[in-house]
Every structure is written in structure tokens, then in C-alpha cells.
Structure 1
Amino acid sequence: MIPSLLVLGALLGVTVVGVAHPEAAPPAIGGAVPVGEVPVTSTKYLDVRSVTLAVETQSQGEIVTPVGGFITRTSCAVGGEAQSGESGIAINGRSLVYLASGAPLWRDLGPDSVGSDVRGLQTELNRLGYSLDADGEFGPLTLRAARDLAERNGVDSSDWSVIPREAFVWIPAPVTGITSCPTVLGASVAPDDALFVAPPVIASARVAALPDTLAPGPRVIVVGEVRVAVDDQGAIADPAALHELGRSSEFAAWLAADDGTDFIVDLELASPVTVTTVPPAAVFGLDGSTGCISSAGHTVVVEVVGSGLGQSYVVVPADAEVVVVDVRLPPGRPCG
């Protein structure tokens, strides 16, 4: 019975996981159930809904080289990634370090340098494990950290008195995807030539239309192996969550298709709730989602959170034990 219930539940967009109470014992074992009373079961409920995610993307474009020369090493590969703080290319035998510094380095940084490019460098160095005051003012600790990062990537920085712009390739995110590689090993490049092309990123994402009668509680969007939280309006507010969603193979496939189809995802409760399944006829006195059931002659106030397969899913108070419900109720019986 349970496998069939799960299959039919999936077809109706309802997720039911597990059974908390055992099946009712046969009358010969457990005694006869009074006429008009029906045994109930408890299950885990995620209230899964298929929804359209409205996505706005932002182009990242070409990632360019700060220097010219011959490419003597490259790890560029379509579908690969460039990692901030690592070297994926060398020109004229000199390694260049990828750096997601927020504000791109547009100059050499020295003792008189102050500004957003300095702060961006300090912030990214801190993310990579250094401990700097991200105050936007160049200092010896900033120089020391940048020199150490360079040395870790095979760059001789022993003579640096300033941080040279040409030692770093700016990338827009700590992990930046690669959609094409216009240059190859041995090719000649000029400053500002493209090293690779980065895919669009997700600038914003929200559920296009929230379904009615959602079970209350925090919710998440599920795309393949990715689970990211959404707010009460169905929007993904966390930039890190947008980045994670943008790295999913499902988003990449949808983007590559470019055929106008909707981006369909699952919207579900962040954590399943325990619900009791009862016949709809057992619920009376409904006011919005609040109603009552009668169990062994006692009235219990419940919250109706969903339905499916001819059953209503209700949340029973923690201090109430409901094993059976009455289904032969007088018309118009009030709740309470």
C-alpha cells in the first residue's frame, strides 16, 4: 500500500515520506474499531511544489590578460573553472594569478595608494586566509600578503616594492566558469586580449508565482543537488546562494538551451513537518486553515496544511494523541 501511495503522491505534487505509526492491527488482534471512527497515520510532509523560477542574468564577458606575449602554460578548458588565488596561465614563462578582487586592479599599488581597488584586494586576500585591515590603504602587511600569494603560485616577488597590476588576472567571482577559450598554448596575445569567456551569472531569482495554500514554514528551492533558501516572497536573497544555483548543471543546461522554456524547480519546506492524515469528512468548523477533528469523543484543534489521495493533512498539537477520528459528524458542527 505504501509504495503505491508514494507513487501517486509524486504524481499529484505531494511528498509523503515514511510512516510514523504502524498500520492498524486487524480486528481479530486489536479489537473492532467503533462504527464511524477511522484509524489515522502520521507521515513526514515536505509540501513539494513545481514552480517556475524567474531568473535575471548578468553578463561577465571576456576575461583579459594584463600583459602581452606568448602563452607558455594554460589550463583553460570549456566547462572548467578559474579559481581566485590560483594560477591558470603563464605568459612568457611567468605565471599570472587569478584574483576576484571586487574592484579590478587598474594600477600598480604602492605606499601612496588608497581606494576601492586596495580595499578589494585586501578583502580577497582575507578570504584567501590572510589577516588584513580592509581599510583601502596600502601598507606593508598588504604588500607582504600579496607577495606571499604570488610566491605560492610560482611568481618571484622578492623584488616587489609595489604590487604590480600585471601579475594578476582579474575575475568576477572566486570561482568563475569558462564557456570558451579563444587562446591556445603557444598563441601570441596583446594586453587586454581575451584569455577566456565567462558565462552569465544569476543577478536575481525568485519564484514567478507562489502557489496558494502553502504549508507554513521556511522554504527552499531544490535544483538537482542544490538546495537554497528563499524568503517569504519566494526570492533568493543570499548572493552566495545565487552563485551556487548558477553553478548547477541544471541552470547551465537551461541557459544553453536558450529556447524560451521556463526554468522549473521544486519549492519545498526546508524541514519536513509531521502531519496526520485524516479523511476530509473528519475535519469540521474550518476557518481559513484552522479546523477541528473529533477523536474518541474529544475535540482537537488542528492546522490543515495540505491534501491528496482523498486525505487531508493536518498538524495535531504536540500534547494531543490522535489514533482514530470520527467521520460521522452532524452537519454544521462548530469547532471548539
Structure 2
Amino acid sequence: MENQQPGGAAGPQTGRYSHVPVKEENSSEPTKVLELRKENSWNGKIQQLFSDMHRLRKLLKLSESVCKVIVKNVIKGTGFVLFGNYILTNAHLFKDYVEGETLERGVEVSVDFYFNYDDTISHRHQVVKSYICPEGDLDYAVLEFNTEGQRVSNLKTQTQQNIKIPPGLLKDFSPVPPSGEAYLIGHPGGEVKKMDPTCIIEKEKREQAVDDHLHPYKDSPLTLYSIKKVVTYNTFMYHGSSGSPVFDAQCKVFGLHTAGFVYGFQKYKESVIEYAFSLHTILKHFVNMLKTKGLEELLKRFEEAAKGNSDLQEVLKSVSEAQVVKAEPADVGNLSDSSEPMDTD
């Protein structure tokens, strides 16, 4: 096999670097061959290093779109620009402060952008409109913020127009990969922006992951049912990082970091496994809502931002086709009032 060491079952003619001839034991050039292998191995490490550095630079650039979400005198969380001046975050940040599908009147919510991984410079914007997903099996909110914000520097604020809003991450959307690397970027604990590299736990290994951490409760139907509906991984990004984007190894955003499955009581709670909702599921639900409520202008802005991304085109197409199927047997007069949720992934 290719990964076996030279001289193993693969035979002396193959080996890890098959283009480097492997000499017999009585060869007069073992040192030269060893040097060639070391050089080849080193070149591979250099290439991997450049690849990692390129990914890091790209993630740092994308992280400019990640912001801190602040519910005044209540809680801090994380969000990111979806497109234009719209933020995607978790709905549970606004628990007990929602009327129907919007924030209660008088609840002040702002978003802060930190263009460096410190607290020295930020742009602050006030949220002016909101859509809070009412579905029990989803946990997302879309917030519209004003484009005329405040420049915040060293705890001083100054109203400023024409602030450059970071680009939306919608164009970088991709479906959930079944496995592989993942990167979370957010504001854990409401502190400075941080990045945490992790790995997606494959579906067939999730129950084992729960069992490893929580053997006495492995048969809990709530835990096992829940972890099958989301993307799971292990991360240090806890309180305050809800609403963080989750990226794959190609720096494509695929998930909305939401919480962790916990056990224990009071201050002794521990997280079993952390999870994100699939952005694919969220976007399908959001587009369906825009169509159902007749929010044509916002839908057009979404479609404009989705241009050039084939995966987003599939999302738009799937919602349209689903609505056609539902419309055929339904009474036309009731279509605009339809509240049937989209199927989840």
C-alpha cells in the first residue's frame, strides 16, 4: 500500500516516494537516497505550510465580517454580515424580548465590528429591523442595521457616515461537508475576536462521541435525537460565541454555531458536544419566509448577493419547487398565510 514504509508489504520497489529509487541493502548510495527522501519530505511540508498560511490569511480577511451582537444590559453574542447590512445570528440571544417574529419595542440591539483581533477599533451600528425565526427546530435571527454608524476607538464614540461595511459571507456559502476541518470565528465570553480550528464529527461517530463524554446518559432520546439534526464538533467557543460562522477547509461558510449539549447542574454544567445549524437549512427557511410574506425587495437583494454561487442557486430553486408542489392542492387564498416550515436537512 502507498502509505506503508519502504520494505514493507508493498515490496522494495515501491515505498512512500515511489519516484525515488529504493536501493538494496548492499547499495553503495544509501546516504544519497536518504537525503533525497528527506528533501522530498521537506518540500511537502513547505507546500503544506504555504497552504495553511494561505488559508489563515483568507480566514482573517473573512473574519472582518464577524461582529459582536449586544443586547443592551442583557447579553452579548456573535453574528456575521450575511449580505448588505443584514446580520445573521442566533434567535436565543433575544429570548424573552420577542413579539411575534420581531424584537420588542424599546429593546436596544447594536453590532460592533472589530477589524483587528483586539478591542482598539470598531464600528458600531444600531439594529433597526429584525426577523426572529419562530420555529422550534431552528435558532436564527436576521437583523438589519443602519449604515450610518459610530466609529469606536479607545472607548470613545463618534458618529460617522460612509463607514465601509464588511462584505457579506453569503457569497461564500457552501453545503455542510460530511467530515474534515472546521474553523469557528467569534467573540466567546463577549471578549476579543478569536478563532478555533476543530474537526467535524461524522454522523456515524456522534453517538460514540456522546458516549465517551456522557456514558450514563447515552440512551437519552433528547440528546441522541438532537445531535442527528445538526453539525457537531468540539470547541472552546462557549458563551458569547453563539452566532459565529463555521467555515470548512476551503474557507466556505456552512454553519451557524449555536450551542453545546450540556449535562450537570448549576455552575457544574459541562458541554458534551458543540453544534451548529446547517446554513443550508437556515437559508431555505429564510427564502421561503421572504416569498411567503411577499418581501420582494429583500428577496431581490438576497438573489443579487447569491449570483455566482451555484449552491445558493440550488437553494433558491428548491424553495420555488417546494412552493409549487404545496400550491397545487392548497386554496390560493391561503397561500400568503402559509406557515408550514421547510424540511430540514
Same fold (TM over 0.5): no
Richer in strand (by share): 1
Structure possessing the higher relative contact order (Cα contacts under 8 Å, 6 or more residues apart): 1
Richer in helix (by share): 2
Using structure 1 for the length normalisation, give the TM-score.
Answer: 0.21
Using structure 2 for the length normalisation, give the TM-score.
Answer: 0.20
**Which of the pair has more CA radius of gyration?**
1
